[in-house]
Structure 1
């Protein structure tokens, strides 16, 4: 009783949570909070001001800010939060808010900053948001909002920032937005708007600093009123369908720092008066139809990056461009520029990338390109440059890619130039270089591609070339190289192509050639090589091109060569003798052995008939019997195929009428063209869900056709994805889902063709095949680190789209390197949705599947024993793909013992360090960036699903790796734009 009496007398000892705290606790009850981010939202205080993410007014202790960004919370938008009477800031960004945005959010009447970016919000954007008259910042990017931008937004009176990037908005860009005179930032990029024009009175937004409209389906011309935006810093209109000239008024943008106009259809000349843009750092108008010359006015600007490639520009490059003290990137390739390159280019700035390929430049290569020691890429292919390679470039230790082919360059290559330590591609083909390959080439430890064909190089190939452990291709045909092949060539275990035809080489092939296990092309034709053809060639199982013609080889052709699967081979014009290997003793191969008088075989024309043979009559009789039997056989086979063809023709005539075609894009072909291509000769792959055919259509287009298995396959493989007959309902549901997917990093589904007994899916064709096949083949050295990094980002963006932008989300369930396909430019597409599942985000917890789906080495630990599937399973599999890209190793390998790739990486890093897990074919100069990507892969493969980041977060982390390792320029929204750093792939035949 005494204690109760004291408590009543001391109300300060009784803790009672105020009303605002009670509202926030109701907010907490509406969320799933797996990480415990809201664990301190309890009633131990009388106000919520000490809680995580909460800020209060210092005097009234009323809540003014709720910031729960990156808290990993799940659930619908908490409308009750608007009952906080003094709430001015609300941020729930980068979570899993998975509802529509209610109209009564307008009850937050004092709200100034609202950030709901990177969530799963769906439906239309509420028009009632405009009723919050105090609102200054509205950020809704990275959701699934659809429909129109509300017309009511024109009523905003104080709004300074409107960010709607990366949604599914499919209306038009309303002209009423120009009524928001207070607007500083307008970002509505990456939305599938219907074709819209930039509002003609955009100039009314006189306070605008950032205008970002990339990929917004803009059409027509850029309005002149744009020049009225005197405060504009960042203008991005890239990747649209804008046409007409660049308006002259754009030169009035006196505060502009960055202009992005690439990938449009702009025409005309660059506008006069650009010298007035005194703050301009980056100007990118590439991939348009611009004509005229590069104006001298650009030289007076503080440019850091100038991209004008793939236009129709003529004339010379202004000499004054070399005076710019900040210029690090200059890309002018694929124009019609002429004259000499500025002699002082690179002398006054740290030039990193210079690409002037595919023009008509003449004169010499500027000697100062690497004067500041920063040059990494020097690309000058297909010009008319002459003279020598400057001696100064031999000291350019930063160089990584050199392409000088198809010019008129001559003289000896500087000795030091051969041995630059970081160069991965050295392309000097189709010039008039002379002299020898220097022994200093031993220092080129990162060299993967050495392309020096069609020159006048002389002397021996140095023994030091055997130290280039990363060399994948050595092409030196049509030179004057002499002497014997160095014995050290056999040390090149990564070599895929050795082409030294049409030289003056002599001597025998080096012993130990069987160690070159990855050799797929060997062309030594038209030299003076001699000796016997080594039988060890027969152990090179990936060899498919072998040309030893036009030499002095003698002896017999080894029988071991029958082990090879050669697409092309030629032993003609040598001094070979003896019998042909039985496999090649066929008329079809006759031309491959001509010009060898000592070769004896019964094939007509390969060797002269021997007269006086006692058994000639008997042999004639045997031949006659054989010919008669063969004739009967051929006639029988021809009759059978004729009958079979007629049967198939009749069958197909009946079947084709029963096919149903469902298209998801505008097609230039019919189902009949597809059906005619389903021939076994066109099979390019066979997987768990069906066969894949390559179909070349009459219009020249190439597509991939997947014919789904009609019944259960008999193989038993616990690591394969689900097999068996797909029910009609499941097939229709899958096709309906996949047919709606529109993303640059997911393989496009053109259409489906079905009958009662057969189902076909028609996809876009990927010329470079799968990542797994390329990475783990002899051509894996072609994938340098920048390419591997780009593939990782592309694949991550595709999976992020499936997880976060599809409604409902899609879980792939079989993410692996073989299901990541590569286009002609090595852009990555996620493919093979044979076992993908739609996940209902409303349900609590992941769905349980009746059978394990996935592939060995990629299956998440919890999936194998719970059969419960969600996005975290895909994230684990993608983490394994990242580890493959970093290590170059398969996900399961006998070398690992009982471990898989994940455990091997962790163990090896702990015991030996990160250097011992990085693929030796990758240049260690990227070690810092590779280590960061490796860390992301390990985070994705965390044993506990809760520790794995979302795919949207994975994309951000990967993009941040690039941003941290690039020059700090090109801002959007006050932050570095990841799109600014997108690598433009090299052009030409070499990647």
Structure 2
């Protein structure tokens, strides 16, 4: 009897489900196909009625699926043709899912009702299909931060409703398409407001017909391409334009004089091109905030008078533009002025800044011809006059004749002094502990340059908070912090969004937040357009069903299986307990480890010792500031002596930067296996009392960066630089070729190459390292992490990490060795600087332009040209064309062997042989700011080093 009742209930339940089903059968089939080919989809993708059951990220209208919003939830898959069956789909947002990869199918052209397509920060590659031009309802198209290649389809010109076109940060090549007798072109997009094509491989000139007076463009962002020729004069006819970015291309000729007709212009970037002729006259651009004309070859001229008329101006960048003469004193009276960079010109005479300038003004006049300064003892601004004649006169002061160090910009603080959170949670400004959704905002342009000004960050936080709340999102607070300008001159903010009323966000909230940030249905004061790249979210909260139909279905199904639930309740509870216990042990690999007994689930270490917190506290005098020898985003480094008497450097992670237990265990196991004379040794570690500390051998002479900058008071000659290069190359070669499994360092830089008492070089800091493993592909797909200036561009774009990524970074270090320059100085990368100085083909007569004078030699020294050629091969654009580290070692050995002078070099030199300076050089001596930045869909840890 009981079995007949149960069968009856099940039959009734199935009938109820059939009656209540709301989803069109074709749409259901398409979603089930997606479900079977993708992974990490929302957990409530169950049952046979996505619309009625409110599947996560699926929105319906009258039984038809009209939107899919799955941004930022970790979806993975490579099959996309099934989406084309959703014929009523209007919105598709799959942004910030690194695991979505493959070629965009031509069948996407079947989505005739699609109005919004957002695929920001995924892993798509190959060409953009021509069929995209069939989406004639499309208003918003954002495909940036992928690896798309080939030409821009001319068919995009058919999208007459399109307002937003963003194809930035891809590998698109060829020319910008315009209409012809047989094809469409971007000039047909008369309703477009945004052209974002930056950071691609576009070439050729900009066609005259691309722009016309009937267009509605406000943003033309074409920077960091390979565009050449003249700027078309037709650009000056688009009166609606507010932002133009044409910087970092190969444009030449004169700047069209009719650009002054663009009276709505806010930001103008024309730097790092080959412009000639007269300096453009910007008179009449009364709303202009930000101007960058640097590094062009304009005709020599006096400082233009129009700069005194731009009442809205905050930032003027005119480095290396052949300016001469005096700066008019009226210029410093501009009410909004924040930053002026006129370095590397011939500005001369007496500098007079008057007494009406803003107190937060920064004025950089390095490398000019200024002979005197009227207010030299009574001024209040950040002023730099290094390498001007005035700095060689009596009475000159270090206040303006040295480069001031930049200050950390970490906003904002809170008033929660008495509140602390557990290790896996973060304290919000409202003093609650929760799991914030984090990522990075990348602004294509911005109207200010004073990153210390709290007004700008407060405005940003308030505007975002207002947007989230007005859309019904459970957001408690927003924190945007660590503003920095990256190598592409984009402003970046790290972003934390805290949940309200719960510890974490559910998947629907995360997707909605991501959609709002990348769709940008709002405006921000002071800021231009942007894109958002997130960090994978740690801990989604359980989703809640809200539809009445879902409740009815739940009740029906619940009645059907009630008997079974009662029978299996006890069994289920027992297995849940076992599962929770196993999960707890997995999450804490040291849970059963007794370091004193040396038994249990211990880390598999080879030579490294476990220290207690008390051990390390004693040897650092309770972690006193007097023992602190360095700091960074991870925490601080302390010098101490352990019980054996050995000097060590103790790297203590701060609460916000600690790894999970599994990751920490993996790292110490990895580092304990590395044994090579050119790799810093791990002495031990501490995993005690909630602390994570790594104990290294103490390296007395600090970093290679310290030596090159003269910080340790000792000059490195050519022979010693060669030996340092060889040591570091051998250390890297060991990691790549002899370690088992091979190790990719991922953060090679001069600050991570340490010098011991005898100036032997050792590779250090394995916090970002990756095991190569046996992928069978020759690369590891991973989040992009590294340091600006050293990062392999190919890894940056493809997220495919190989040993050749380390080779690129090492090539940058080699260029540092011969130039002593930081990787990025004055907005120019060291590779480009060397290329420009060397010319093509490389000629030794040009080497003198880039050599570090501290070496005290000329370009004819033995092996120098070979060394430069080797460095340039290491920083080749394609990883396949770069040598291996083993080949680099052999080539440097050949250079040492082939130069007679080098054969006699003495490699055994000790600290006692030179001036005692900084006798407590840290293991990691950083003059840096630490930021969390992103490229593509990959967050990475960046230490931004300021050039001294």
In which range does the TM-score fall when normalised by the shorter chain? 0.3 to 0.5
Task: Output the TM-score relative to the length of structure 1.
Answer: 0.46
Highest Rg: 1 or 2?
A: 1
